[in-house]
Amino acid sequence: MTVTCCIRYVIDPFQKDAFEAYRARLKLSPQGAANFAFAQEARFILSEERTWPTPVV
């Protein structure tokens, strides 16, 4: 059985730096680091894609 889960985040471009800082802090947290390590070991996250399109005006 295959299960597909698509998650899409829409981040305010003016808040992108704050979001990246949050991700960095999460990796420094013992619980966050343990969760990230578990996800890597179990291969839950196979890839991560980010697209930052430029609006056409």
Task: Report pLDDT digits (tens) over 16-57.
Answer: 788 788 778 878 899 988 887 887 788 776 666 766 666 666
Residue 13 in this model has a pLDDT that exceeds 80: no
Query: Residue 52 falls within a domain, yes or no?
Result: no
- For the question of whether the overall pTM of this predicted structure is more than 0.85, the answer is no
CA-CA distance, 31 to 27, in Å (whole number)?
9
Q: Is residue 49 part of a domain?
A: no
Count CB neighbours of 40 within 10 A: 10
Q: Which domain holds residue 32?
A: 13-42
Q: How high is the pLDDT of residue 11?
A: 72
CA distance 30 to 26: 8
How many domains are contained in the chain?
1
In a domain, 24, yes or no: yes
The answer to whether residue 3 is domain-embedded is no
pLDDT value, residue 23 = 78
Whole-number Å distance between alpha carbons of 42 and 2: 16
List the Cα angle 46/52/54 in 5-degree steps.
Answer: 155
